[in-house]
Structure 1
Amino acid sequence: MSFDREVDARGLNCPLPILRAKKALAELQSGQVLKVMSTDPGSQRDFQAFSRQTGHELLRTDAGDREWTFFLKRR
């Protein structure tokens, strides 16, 4: 999937992956896509809730071996 910006939040625990994503999304234009990589197991639930609360669209979640990648579209 193509994206406009990437945030590497691997090795960071809650709430840092969400905070880094929030900051990066604020710097993007509407419609642009952010890729976030995380190793925090709770990040799946966190990014779903973040998307619902902020209106940014969670386009895709990829799960790997103890690593998750999220693609969020800025509203």
Structure 2
Amino acid sequence: MEVLFLIEKKSGKPDYNQELDTRGLYCPEPLFEVRNLSETLDVGECFKVIADDPAAEEDLKRWAKRTETKLVEFQKDGEDLIFYFKKMK
């Protein structure tokens, strides 16, 4: 797992404070990593998650709804699933 701290504006992409790359991890590991990262963030912070486990799409969307975390944007780029989340509470 790699966590990057980013603050600069990404042109055409949502702003985010941190990036979590879960490629190579499979269910339920991406969900655990996202949950752990989210617990360290302040309300209002945004983060990007990259996953390549097909189950992550449904898992992370359900997690966001259940935790009232806003899914700002979702993209597919080849096998990569890219999520932008905002911690709401």
TM (norm. structure 1) is 0.94
Aligned to 1:54: 67
Distance 2:72 2:31 in 1: 16
The percent of aligned pairs where both chains have the same amino acid is 25
Which one scores higher on RCO, CA 8 angstroms, separation ≥ 6? 1
Partner amino acid for 1:58? L
Partner secondary structure for residue 41 of structure 2: coil
Instruction: List, as ranges, runs of 4+ consecutive aligned residues in structure 1 with deviation greater than 4 Å.
Output: none
Two-structure CA RMSD over aligned residues (Å): 0.8
**Stretches of structure 2 lacking an aligned partner (at least 5 in a row):** 1-13
Aligned to 1:9: 22
Larger Rg belongs to: 2
